[in-house]
């Protein structure tokens, strides 16, 4: 439903409203609002009962107007924000605004939802090195906010798992006892059914990617056969079902984080989000801030809106923002045309009985008067006869199984999916319901040319199974959202990339009634999938370094990331050209190196306050995030670039001069170590660092340096990139430098 935003500033009152008004709410304006408030004396009560009665005092008494629904308290938040969710009409809101202690209110947002060779691909091997040293995440609790979980899946077996740590206070809301020492908690929230059961599969997939147990003989229709395992197989899992199979409700998300904080999770994994939200009206950013203050690490999906600039979500600096890239495995399916041309594509469904005979090939998209025909929309297929044919269709999302169902329903024999121009060479191996191959955009064009060149185009598909060892990997996925950050463009986003294309993980549904196609694992793609990989890595690091703050863990992951692929070339993007830093962030996660970063860039929760003031947020907006009264005029605010972040994002405006930032690094390597700086200057910018050598004599010692960026030319490109590295005998601590030559914000 199209939504437009109305910004009302009620003159003379101390509050600001940001209502989303829809056609539906014009007729019936009761809807769920997130209301932020504060205690008159600035003191927060600690007794939950007092808190709830305080919140209830904001709700206007039952309305006399019988056409209106009575206001209702939906969630009373205890940890995540000072405030509550309530069903209110605009009239109720107006009354509420007059009350002392009211700060702001906004309608809840709806967030979009965005598997296991990938673990070995990240360099984790059983009984060896870091994976073994971290005890596979033993003792750490990962909270997954998603569509629920399928508790009986073997990925959540608790065989050999110790009980949860004593700090655990969570509960299990399954009707029958489904939780165990692996799945230690499960909660559900409004609109999501009557239990934490995963009706979709998404939550089961993300939870098992972060922390699934070893399951031998996992495969999808016999492909990618092997032992499936999550990144932190000995970590405990708690699921918070805040989403149905399509979307996540803002009030639920806040409540889920509220509960997760109280329950005692160590890591939160959030594979959904929305874009273009300032931090004070972004439920995930708000929730993550409170979580971070309590030492909880938050990993969030960057979004699937790539390759367009300014498309990242979950881009608050206190969140690890995770983009997606490929692994070195392909499940090959080759399109063979009547003229003998061959194009390698992918599919997870590899029927052995598909005949190699050529079948008629058709492209519905050649009907120029039907726009949707290029996507093989069911409506378009109704208008044509595709019976017994191989149908060429263009892709428009990370999931094409439904397109295949439409082609099959229309009588098609097989399907070739070609990519959109934007996603270029990023292809998916999915659990299709008919013979399919997904080919690149360039190959799709060649197939179109062939179709145009003859009156009787024909083709077939040859299935070639699982092939490991593609040394181009990792490649940034076309869909992976790109920086700069819209909300805070001088913080580089995404932070990191990790495996997110064609990942096999737990999934409980049989895709069809055909028993041959049963699969308790499924292969999906998205930043939804890369995010839980990083949640798992954070759990491993937390297990080895329980004293590291969320910022320290993030720093360790970022400064040790890989910038080259298996072939030792620069990591490429979907066009197979070197990826830019707004696609990769710091690079591809390297968990073993992250375990021993040498230096870390730490950030205290209170350091974010001067940063938020520096974003020119009002006192009220900062108060909403910080949950305590903040007066920006009383503190020294800082520029975004001055936050002690492990990367640099420099904006060069037409009139900008020299920019100077400082950073402080903490020694977590050998006590006596000496680092010298190595600078790879971005085009158009001179970079100087003072001092050029850092000499440490103690562990945990902090030293600072200053970096001066001097623009000397505006290149013809819109951006450029470089790096700043601190190099010692045993460590390289790398920070990417992103430069954007523009006047944005």
Ligand X SMILES: *[C@@H]1O[C@H](CO)[C@@H](O)[C@H](O)[C@H]1NC(C)=O
Nearest to 600 by CA among 491, 700, 727: 700
Q: What angle do CA 707, 711, 714 make, to 5 degrees?
A: 150
What are the strands, taking DSSP E only, across 127-205?
141-146, 183-188
Contact 423, 398 (CB under 8 A): no
Q: What angle do CA 359, 364, 369 make, to 5 degrees?
A: 155
Query: Which is it for the CA torsion 344, 347, 352, 354, positive or negative?
Result: negative
Q: How far apart are CA 355 and CA 671, in angstroms?
A: 66
**In the complex, minimum distance from the CB of residue 90 to ligand X, in angstroms, rounded to a whole number:** 13
Q: How far apart are CA 139 and CA 235, in angstroms?
A: 6
Of all helices (H) and strands (E), which one includes residue 458? strand 458-468
- Which residue number, 299 or 460, has a Cβ lying nearer to ligand X? 460
User: Coil, helix or strand for 608?
Assistant: helix
**In the complex, minimum distance from the CB of residue 490 to ligand X, in angstroms, rounded to a whole number:** 7
Given the residues 117, 153, 202, 731, select the one marked as catalytic: 202
Contact 720, 683 (CB under 8 A): yes
**In the complex, minimum distance from the CB of residue 201 to ligand X, in angstroms, rounded to a whole number:** 15
Q: How far apart are CA 66 and CA 341, in angstroms?
A: 71
Of all helices (H) and strands (E), which one includes residue 430? none
**In the complex, minimum distance from the CB of residue 445 to ligand X, in angstroms, rounded to a whole number:** 5
- Which residue number, 132 or 662, has a Cβ lying nearer to ligand X? 132
User: Coil, helix or strand for 450?
Assistant: helix
- Which residue number, 50 or 449, has a Cβ lying nearer to ligand X? 449
Catalytic, 146? Answer yes
**In the complex, minimum distance from the CB of residue 421 to ligand X, in angstroms, rounded to a whole number:** 7
**In the complex, minimum distance from the CB of residue 62 to ligand X, in angstroms, rounded to a whole number:** 14
Token pair recorded at residue 422: 């934007």
**In the complex, minimum distance from the CB of residue 30 to ligand X, in angstroms, rounded to a whole number:** 5
- Which residue number, 350 or 528, has a Cβ lying nearer to ligand X? 350
**In the complex, minimum distance from the CB of residue 511 to ligand X, in angstroms, rounded to a whole number:** 8
Let me know if 288 is exposed, middle or buried by CB neighbors in 10 A (0-12, 13-18, 19+). Answer: buried
Given the residues 92, 112, 146, 263, select the one marked as catalytic: 146
- Please list, in sequence order, all residues whose beta carbon lies within 8 angstroms of the beta carbon of residue 144, skipping any fewer than 6 positions away: 203, 206, 207, 210, 237, 238, 239, 240, 268, 269, 532, 535
Residue 569's CB: how many other CB atoms inside 10 A?
A: 11
**In the complex, minimum distance from the CB of residue 67 to ligand X, in angstroms, rounded to a whole number:** 5
- Which residue number, 46 or 177, has a Cβ lying nearer to ligand X? 177
- Which residue number, 449 or 604, has a Cβ lying nearer to ligand X? 449
**In the complex, minimum distance from the CB of residue 371 to ligand X, in angstroms, rounded to a whole number:** 9
Q: How far apart are CA 264 and CA 74, in angstroms?
A: 23
Which residues make beta-bridge pairs with 268?
143, 298
- Which residue number, 115 or 269, has a Cβ lying nearer to ligand X? 115
- Which residue number, 175 or 339, has a Cβ lying nearer to ligand X? 175
Residue 181's CB: how many other CB atoms inside 10 A?
A: 14
- Which residue number, 54 or 343, has a Cβ lying nearer to ligand X? 343
- Which residue number, 568 or 616, has a Cβ lying nearer to ligand X? 616
Token pair recorded at residue 539: 């759990």
SS3 for 253-307 is: HHHHHHHHHHHCCCEEEECEECCCCCHHHCHHHHHHHHHHHCCCEEEEECCCCCC
**In the complex, minimum distance from the CB of residue 216 to ligand X, in angstroms, rounded to a whole number:** 7
Residue 69's CB: how many other CB atoms inside 10 A?
A: 17
CA distances from 244 to 44, 77, 101, 150, 247 (A): 33, 21, 34, 14, 6
Contact 467, 329 (CB under 8 A): yes
**In the complex, minimum distance from the CB of residue 442 to ligand X, in angstroms, rounded to a whole number:** 4
**In the complex, minimum distance from the CB of residue 480 to ligand X, in angstroms, rounded to a whole number:** 15
Token pair recorded at residue 410: 């229309």
Residue 95's CB: how many other CB atoms inside 10 A?
A: 17
Report H helices in 364-488.
378-382, 401-409, 441-453
- Which residue number, 672 or 704, has a Cβ lying nearer to ligand X? 672
Contact 18, 41 (CB under 8 A): no
Catalytic, 528? Answer yes
Catalytic, 76? Answer no
Of all helices (H) and strands (E), which one includes residue 619? helix 619-626
Given the residues 251, 255, 299, 528, select the one marked as catalytic: 528
- Which residue number, 57 or 730, has a Cβ lying nearer to ligand X? 730
Give the CA count within 13 Å in the CB-facing half-sphere of 222.
9
- Which residue number, 21 or 448, has a Cβ lying nearer to ligand X? 448
Interface ranges with ligand X (CB under 6 A): 28, 30, 67, 69, 127-128, 132, 135, 175, 194, 217, 219, 222, 225, 366-367, 369-370, 383-385, 387-388, 424-425, 440-442, 445, 448-449, 452, 510, 512-513, 515, 518, 575-576, 615-616, 671-672, 697, 745
Residue 571 CA, distance from chain mean position: 20
Let me know if 598 is exposed, middle or buried by CB neighbors in 10 A (0-12, 13-18, 19+). Answer: buried
Q: How far apart are CA 308 and CA 698, in angstroms?
A: 45
Give the CA count within 13 Å in the CB-facing half-sphere of 91.
14
Nearest to 214 by CA among 195, 186, 233: 233
Kindly state the DSSP code that residue 604 receives in the 8-state scheme.
Answer: -
Length of the chain: 745
The residues carrying an active-site annotation are 146, 202, 528
């Amino acid at each position: 439903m199209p939504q437009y935003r109305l910004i009302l500033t009620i003159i003379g009152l101390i509050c600001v409203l940001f209502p989303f008004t829809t056609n539906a709410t014009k007729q019936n304006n009761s809807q769920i609002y997130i209301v932020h408030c504060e205690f008159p004396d600035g003191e927060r009560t600690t007794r939950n009962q007092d808190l709830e009665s305080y919140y209830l005092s904001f709700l206007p008494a039952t309305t006399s107007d019988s056409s209106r629904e009575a206001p209702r308290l939906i969630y009373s938040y205890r940890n995540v924000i000072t405030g509550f969710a309530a069903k209110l009409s605009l009239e109720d809101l107006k009354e509420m605004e007059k009350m002392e202690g009211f700060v702001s209110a906004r309608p809840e947002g709806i967030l979009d939802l965005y598997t296991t060779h990938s673990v070995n691909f990240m360099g984790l091997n059983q009984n060896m090195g870091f994976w073994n040293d971290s005890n596979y995440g033993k003792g750490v609790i990962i909270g997954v906010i998603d569509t629920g979980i399928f508790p009986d899946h073997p990925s959540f077996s608790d065989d050999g798992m110790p009980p949860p740590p004593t700090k655990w206070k969570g509960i299990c809301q399954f009707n029958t006892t489904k939780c165990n020492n692996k799945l230690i908690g499960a909660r559900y929230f409004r609109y999501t059914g009557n239990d934490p059961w995963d009706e979709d599969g998404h939550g089961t997939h993300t939870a098992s990617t972060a922390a699934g147990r070893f399951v031998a003989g996992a495969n999808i229709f016999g492909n990618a056969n092997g032992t499936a395992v999550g990144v932190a197989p000995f970590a405990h899992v708690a699921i918070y079902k805040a989403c149905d199979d399509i979307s996540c409700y803002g009030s639920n998300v806040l409540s889920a984080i509220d509960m997760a904080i109280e329950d005692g999770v160590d890591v939160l994994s959030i594979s959904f989000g929305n874009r273009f939200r300032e931090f004070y009206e972004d439920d995930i950013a708000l929730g993550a801030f409170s979580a971070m203050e309590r030492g909880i690490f938050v990993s969030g999906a960057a979004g699937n809106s790539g390759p367009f600039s300014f498309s990242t979500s979950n881009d608050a600096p206190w969140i690890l923002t995770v983009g997606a890239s490929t692994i070195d495995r392909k499940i090959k399916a080759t399109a063979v045309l009547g003229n003998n041309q061959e194009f390698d594509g992918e599919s997870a469904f590899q029927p052995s009985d598909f005949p190699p005979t050529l079948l008629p090939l058709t492209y519905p998209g050649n009907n120029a008067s039907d726009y949707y025909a290029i996507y093989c929309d069911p409506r378009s297929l109704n208008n044509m006869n595709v019976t017994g044919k191989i149908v060429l269709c263009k892709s428009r999302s990370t999931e094409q199984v439904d397109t295949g169902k439409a082609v099959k329903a229309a009588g098609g024999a097989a399907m070739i999916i070609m990519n959109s121009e934007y996603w270029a060479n990023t292809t998916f191996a999915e659990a299709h319901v008919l013979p399919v191959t997904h080919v690149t955009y360039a190959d799709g064009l060649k197939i179109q040319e062939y179709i145009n060149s003859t009156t009787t185009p024909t083709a077939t598909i040859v299935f070639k199974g699982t092939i490991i060892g593609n040394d181009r990997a990792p490649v940034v996925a076309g869909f992976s959202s790109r920086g700069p950050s819209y909300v805070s463009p001088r913080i580089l986003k995404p932070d990191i990339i990790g495996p997110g294309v064609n990942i096999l993980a737990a999934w409980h549904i049989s895709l069809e009634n055909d028993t041959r196609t049963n699969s308790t694992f499924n292969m999906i793609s998205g930043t939804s999938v890369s995010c839980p990989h990083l949640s798992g890595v954070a759990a491993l690091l937390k297990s080895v370094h329980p004293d590291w703050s969320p910022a320290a863990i993030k720093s360790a992951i970022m400064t040790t990331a890989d910038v080259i692929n298996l072939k030792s070339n620069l990591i490429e993007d979907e066009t197979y050209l070197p990826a830019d830093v707004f696609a990769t962030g710091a690079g591809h996660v390297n968990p073993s190196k992250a375990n021993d970063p040498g230096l870390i860039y730490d950030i205290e929760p209170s350091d974010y306050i001067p940063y938020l003031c520096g974003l020119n947020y009002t006192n009220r907006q900062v108060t909403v995030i910080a949950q305590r009264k903040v007066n920006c005029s009383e503190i020294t605010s800082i520029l975004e670039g001055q936050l002690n972040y492990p990367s640099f994002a420099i904006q060069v405006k037409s009139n900008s001069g020299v920019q100077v930032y400082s950073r402080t690094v903490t020694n977590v390597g050998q006590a006596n170590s000496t680092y010298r700086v190595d600078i790879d200057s971005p085009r158009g910018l001179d970079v100087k660092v003072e001092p050029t050598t850092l000499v440490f004599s103690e562990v945990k010692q902090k030293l600072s340096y200053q970096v001066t960026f001097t623009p000397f030319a505006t290149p013809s490109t819109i951006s450029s990139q470089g790096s700043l590295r601190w190099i010692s005998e045993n460590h390289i601590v790398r920070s990417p430098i992103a430069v954007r030559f523009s006047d944005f914000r």
